[in-house]
Amino acid sequence: MKKFGLAFLTGLITLMILGISGCGEDMTAQDGDIVQVHYTGTLEDGSTFDTSAGRDPLEFTVGAGQMIQGFDSAVKGMKVGDVKTVTIPADEAYGQPDENLYLEFQRSELPEGMDPAVGDQLPLSTSTGRQMMVPVIAVTETSITVDANHELAGKDLTFKIEMMNITRP
């Protein structure tokens, strides 16, 4: 019978445990996983519209509809430490502008003394009572028109994404 050293047996047992538990495998993000990512979002002109730099990583559940479709899809298959850059078409981000969200108001409906110009931001209350700022896109003598679409509607978005952590519930 051949004698083995203690170090050899310890290593063999460790390999067996890793093989049984699957701990040696690299986990990839999939639906239902809770992930943490750092990201930087840019527009076609290279300007940054959002970033997690200087903040805690963004945490969300993959496939739960918490993120825009293209971002959610982009993290699937990533491993901790992976970095990727993806361009998400407008249709998988905030969609195309909806003409029904170009809202016209009569000047007589505005508070007295308010004289908005194109480019001004005005507060608008949603049906749920939430306030949002909307840009004025047209002004006439009798009316103003605002754009209540998401500010990134109609835009392709580029994200640099770094996978920081994956937790499988």
pLDDT for the residue numbered 47:
98
122-155: per-residue pLDDT in tens? 999 888 989 999 999 999 999 999 999 999 999 9
Segments in the chain below pLDDT 70: 1-25
- Which residue, among 64, 59, 92, has the nearest Cα to 163 in the 3D structure? 59
Q: Please report, as a single letter, which amino acid is at residue 10.
A: T
pLDDT for the residue numbered 12:
43
What letter does residue 79 receive in the DSSP assignment? B
> What domains can you pick out in the chain, each with its CATH number?
30-94+153-167 (3.10.50.40), 99-147 (2.40.10.330)
Q: How many CB atoms lie within 10 A of CB 106?
A: 10
pLDDT for the residue numbered 4:
52
